[in-house]
Structure 1
């Protein structure tokens, strides 16, 4: 799988640019804040129909313009394809002052209109590694949930649909909890409605948890192998799934230390039937009902769970050194890359955004060695220091200044 051409119009700080990429190594170079990351964002936007940097599509439109266009021509599964996404501002007088302007997306795949972003699934698959991915270890539970969910979306058919339905059901249940709180009492009708929502959430939640744990079970052995090579040590990696049953996510670290969240070994979850997991969730809803009404939100379920990574049984977030954390994240991302490649039967497009700044020379070298020939890589950087001459040989170099491509050249291959 490879991107052949990217065309951006009024996207972020770009007015209009057309970029061609070579089948293997592509380096986008430029100073900070010139638009390097915006180009990778455009490719990911074409892949998933959403930005990893903002949930507000109108922010992607160049200031003063009323629309933006991203077009990607790519090769996958022995055929040429094209994805086109147009973002249009909607003039709506009802938009509150200070609120983000509303927008709509028009999506086409090979000229065929798609009603929503689900129509993009599986066409252009990317795996990205950026400096923000250190949040896998240093960040909060949502960062780790998002990583596992993104992987499950690629590996598990139907997972994204279940996750989307679950999130909508949580919103509906929260609305009911708010109404109960405002009414000041819990009626028989309210109890009946809660039972209906509880059953739906427990059933879908069990499916989500099962998929997450399966993905972790696939990723951990691969990540362990990579981690040993990176660190040069035989350290045991493990991941434990936590049912977060109390408190708020902002208080998670304190809850974790106090044991307020319930750890469940992944092997136990793998051996449990979904109905057993659903039963456990139903019990959590029942136990937390009073607190949920007071807080007007659903406090238990996969939308609040966490995954904790350990190195030799020591929690990597709380006790891992910076070097250990960097090695762990790199190993996890490389395991993701291998799993996706094996699943697709061909390598995805690898997007590396300024990761050299986060890794020391040894880890930089390991990453570059792991990016094998035959896989398209598009990497952003402020300089070429740290790149081996052999790796750069034959690469396409794209120089970006102020939202414009100033230079587009192929580096001479050495014999």
Structure 2
């Protein structure tokens, strides 16, 4: 796939900016806080409908404006597609594909596939479990867009179940009486729904990691000159000894029942995919606690290269690669490994504060834009 152009209107610090992409590699040069990362964020939003930087749409709309828009033309094997996403301060979004408004945002997903790699991705290794869950969920959405609906459904059930548990806790504390049978029967209904939705999430996460792990292990070995062995383990809060639907649902339900008193006491759900962990180990040592900064960077780079390969295998086309000021975080060996892998196979958008880190041959094959104060030009 190839992103032909991008049109940003009242998005972040861009008033009305057209960008035409005329080479497999585009380098965006400029000082910090000029709008380089904002452009990559716009592509990320068209790909996943999410930003890894903010959660509210009002933060994406230019100051003093009520709405912002991201539009693009994408070339795929099936032909060219026009896309647009309109963001509003009140949070109401509209999306369209091929000039047709879409009723459901989920139908927009899967049109653009992209892998983002930024300095924030080091949180994948050293951050909390929520970073790794989010990374894994984003990967699964790229492979299977319908997963976004499954995940949304699970979190909706989780919120309602938590609201009931909070109510039960308050009943028990305030009235100092046993929980009513009505609340218990209502909780049993939510238990059943949580199990059904939760198992769907867990199975897809496990399958995606099963496919990604050997590819990541290969890249990790290559980058570390075979001195390190990477292991990736999915650690769900419910044991997954076998991928059997009934067996998993039964195990999930039993685990909920085991923690029922603790859940009612704390007023929150203690079992389920929202508590899962992904563990990275290097030479049988947990990377989070003991990995050096260099090892952690190698690990994240291996994961990103594996994502590229896996998405390409599944969808049949190479995804876009978004590199947000990441070359400065990598030593020369890791930089070369990354740039050699990309070549012209993956359309790549790169942000940087200076061009000195790039090989001259690479620069000659790239389109270079200069970004200053929300304006993009071919000249400094």
Q: TM-score range by the shorter chain?
A: over 0.9
In the alignment, what sits opposite 1:65? 65
Deviations 1:197-255 (A, max 9, x none): 111111221221111111111111111111111111242221222234xxxxxxxxxxx
Deviation at 1:282, TM superposition (A): 1.2
* Residue 112 (structure 1) aligned with residue 105 (structure 2): no
Alignment of 1:138-177 (within 5 A): 138-156=126-144, 158-177=146-165
Distance 1:133 1:124 in 2: 21
In the alignment, what sits opposite 2:175? none
Distance 1:272 1:73 in 2: 40
In the alignment, what sits opposite 1:189? 182
Deviation at 1:106, TM superposition (A): 1.7
Secondary structure of 1:385's partner?
A: coil
In the alignment, what sits opposite 1:240? 233
Deviations 1:167-189 (A, max 9, x none): 10000101111111222241112
Q: Report the count of equivalent residues.
A: 375
Deviation at 1:50, TM superposition (A): 2.5
Deviation at 1:408, TM superposition (A): 5.7
Residues 243 and 46 (structure 1), Cα distance of their counterparts in 2 relative to 1, 3 Å cut: closer
Residues 103 and 162 (structure 1), Cα distance of their counterparts in 2 relative to 1, 3 Å cut: closer
Deviation at 1:166, TM superposition (A): 0.6
* Residue 15 (structure 1) aligned with residue 3 (structure 2): no
Distance 2:114 2:342 in 1: 14
Unaligned runs of 5+ in 1: 90-101, 245-261, 410-415
Maintained 8 Å contact 2:23/2:367? no
In the alignment, what sits opposite 2:342? 371
* Residue 386 (structure 1) aligned with residue 353 (structure 2): no
Secondary structure of 2:226's partner?
A: coil
Distance 2:108 2:14 in 1: 24
The TM-score with structure 2 as length reference comes to 0.94
Maintained 8 Å contact 1:26/1:398? yes
Residues 132 and 190 (structure 1), Cα distance of their counterparts in 2 relative to 1, 3 Å cut: same
In the alignment, what sits opposite 2:167? 179
Deviation at 1:32, TM superposition (A): 0.7
Distance 1:298 1:110 in 2: 42
Distance 2:199 2:152 in 1: 14
* Residue 342 (structure 1) aligned with residue 313 (structure 2): yes
Secondary structure of 2:64's partner?
A: coil
Maintained 8 Å contact 1:69/1:86? yes
Distance 1:290 1:3 in 2: 53
Secondary structure of 1:10's partner?
A: strand
Deviation at 1:47, TM superposition (A): 2.0
Deviation at 1:150, TM superposition (A): 1.3
Unaligned runs of 5+ in 2: 173-177
Distance 1:163 1:60 in 2: 24
